[in-house]
Amino acid sequence: MVFSLLRRSKRSAIREPSSSNKHDVESALELGKKAIQDMNQHLLILDERIKGCIAEAKERYSKNDKAGALGALRRKKLYEEEASRVTSSIMTLETQNITLEGAQMQQVALNALTTGAAAHKRFQDCMAANAVDDLMEQLEEQRETQYEIYDSMTQGVTLATEFEDELEALMRDEQVEQVAVGNSLAEIEAELLAEEAQGKQKTAVSAVNKTTIQTSAPSPIAQ
């Protein structure tokens, strides 16, 4: 792709981006990084609020304040939904920053290749055909040698696995703890909702009984 762009340079030369364009890209990257930083701070605040709601729900439930415990759990759910939206926004901003940085580096590479191609053409005009052939062979050999050196240097490079077992054990413990907390909260919430529904049912039955008694009572006129 890069070399096809260079071949088209005779029809449309690759120009270096203006200082205004560079400033716009740098400003966009800076704003994106600042927004990501602010959102990460907001995520920390939301996480603390979620933990606070969990603690409040447990405390109110232990004091038989079931309505208060339900309210704390509902607030926890709202905070979790907000945290999910903020996380999605962070991912979008990070994707945009990566794309901008990639475009910036691609432009730098194209400018360097264009300059190199122009210099090579001027150099080629001053040389005989056989000298050019020899030069290209040398360049090809140098590239192949460079690839061999790179392959040798990167061969066998692997990530350290010394602490993988310990990390997996920690993750399993964390998952077990999260499942236990989730089950406890789910049981509390289910019990509160069941008692709330039972209370509403008792109220409805009492209202029906009262209506029945009033209907069956003899009227004064009949007496």
User: How confident is the chain (223 residues) per 10-residue block, as mean pLDDT?
Assistant: 50 58 84 94 96 92 90 93 94 92 86 85 73 82 86 62 70 79 77 80 70 60 46
Range 4-15 burial, b when 16+ CB lie within 10 A, else e = eeeeeeeeeeee
Q: What was the pLDDT predicted at 17?
A: 57
Find all residues with CB under 8 Å of 149, minimum gap 6, and list them: none
Query: Residue 44: what pLDDT?
Result: 96
pLDDT at 222: 45
User: How high is the pLDDT of residue 180?
Assistant: 74
Q: Residue 208 and residue 125: Cα distance in Å, rounded?
A: 105
Q: How far apart are CA 197 and CA 121, in angstroms?
A: 85
Please give the pLDDT value at position 7: 54
Rounded (10°) CA dihedral 123, 128, 133, 137 = -50
Q: Are 210 and 202 in contact (CB under 8 A)?
A: no
Q: What domains, with CATH codes, occur in the chain? A: 19-126 (1.10.287.1060)
Q: Which of helix, strand or coil describes residue 143? A: helix
Nearest to 196 by CA among 31, 68, 89, 90: 68
Residue 85's pLDDT is 95
Residue pair 185/54 in contact (Cβ under 8 Å)? The answer is yes
Counted residue by residue, the chain has a size of 223
Three-class SS state of 128: coil
pLDDT at 49: 96
